[in-house]
Each structure stands twice: as C-alpha cells, then as structure tokens.
Amino acid sequence: MQKDIAALAKILNIPLKPGGHLEQAVVHRSYLNEHPDFPLAHNERLEFLGDAVLELVVTEYLYTTYENPEGELTTWRSSIVNGDSLAVIGQNIGIEPYLYLSRGEEKDSNSKARRYILANAMEAIIGAIYLDFGWDLSKEFILKHVVSKLGDIIAERSYIDPKSKFQEAAQSRLSITPSYKVLEESGPDHQKTFIMGAYLGKDLVAKGEGTSKQEAQISAAANALKEKGW
C-alpha cells in the first residue's frame, strides 16, 4: 500500500522533493521480502549516512556549547543519539504510520524490534534530508527534534544508566552495593530471554527482563529505583 509521503514531509516540517529520498527512508528490509517488485531499496544505506550526520551535529553542538570534559560530552551524546531515544522521538513526531513494513512487523507494534526499526528510520530520514537539502536543514531538524531533549537529560541526570543510579543511591542511603542474579532463562541459544533479580543484601527488590543478562540487569535496576522511590 502506497504511503502518503507528502503528509510525512508535512509532519517533519520539510519540503517534499520530487524524486527525493524521503520515501526510501521509511522502507524497512522486511517489506521488500514481501514486495520484491517495490521500486525503492530499503533504508539501510540512508541510515548509515544519517547516523554520521546526526553524530556530527550533536558533537558540534556539545563542543561549542559546553566546556565539560570529553568523557561527559561523550556520555551526553550517547544519551540522545541512542536507539531508545531516537525511537521515542520517532513515535512523538508520528513517523510510525508511514513505515513500509512486512505484515509480521506491522502486527508487532510494541516489541523491541519495532523500537529498533523506528530508531533506524529516524537516522534514515536524517540521511534523506541531508541528501535532498544539505547540511543546514539537516542541522535544523536535528537541533529541533534531538538536541532539544538535552536540557532535560542533563537536569534529570538520565544520562546515567539505571544500574549506576541504583548503585549510587543504595551506597549513599544504605551503604550496600546491589547485586544481580539470574532468576529465569528461556528460549533457544540464539534468542534467549533472561529475568534478573536486583538485590540489596538478601532482599529481592525488583525483577527485570531482557534478551541479554546486561539488558535484564538494567531493567531490574530501573524497576528497583521505582520500587524504592529513588
């Protein structure tokens, strides 16, 4: 089904360039598996380009705006260009209805895979804007939709990952270092799911789930922070 790319350009607040790259930016590889005659390629090359443009704009902004050490600037940059952040930005802008996806991906709207697709589409859209309109409009778009989140991230210290936050809070409040244990493990070797427990001493504070132990630990730590009200 053809998407209304003119409507997508409107919500992105960019011109619609005839023969431009915007439509390709929202074509996921899975769609082409079901529609091999579709005239456009998937968006992965645009994503590659957009990732580089995004990182340079954010890096330039951080360098010229803050005099903090390199390590802090790197952490802040990571917090606003990571996949979860870009997926949320894509959802808030409203790009999801314009994605070309396979029937299976269309149905799987709340999965980790969908967040990954959204994040990649955002990078591909940035790549398309860069190719079609150049640096200035790309920079304007990134500053408006991505860099604008930085103030809240710094104020809320959300650039600190949940495991570090939980450890910092537990040590300062209780003089205890949290520990983590695998509570459940399921699925085949190539697609495992882990449930980890976050503990303070012998007390289980919260559980978290993920496709790796590290991801499940981060989820458990985030849930523990909520449970403790920290």
From 123, 136, 152, 156, active-site residue: 123
- 157: tokens are 């210290």
Please report where in the chains the tokens 């003119």 appear, as a residue.
Answer: 6
Cβ neighbours, 10 Å, residue 134: 10
Asked if residue 158 lies in contact with residue 79, where contact means CB atoms within 8 angstroms, the answer is yes
Strand order of the β-sheet with 193-200 is 179-186, 193-200, 203-210
Supply the DSSP string of 62-76, one letter for each residue.
Answer: HHHH----HHHHHHH
Q: Are the C-beta atoms of 161 and 85 separated by less than 8 Å?
A: no
Token readout for 175 is 């003089």
**What is the 8-class DSSP label of residue 27?**
B
Are the beta carbons of 41 and 114 closer than 8 angstroms? no
Tokens of 1: 């089904």
> Which of 23, 51, 105, 132 is the catalytic position?
51
Q: In the chain, count H helices and then E strands.
A: 12, 3
123 is annotated as an active-site residue: yes
Residue 207 has, within 13 A of its CA and on its CB side, a CA count of: 7
Catalytic residue flag (residue 55):
no
Retrieve residue 227's tokens. Answer: 């449970």
Which residues are known to be catalytic? 51, 123
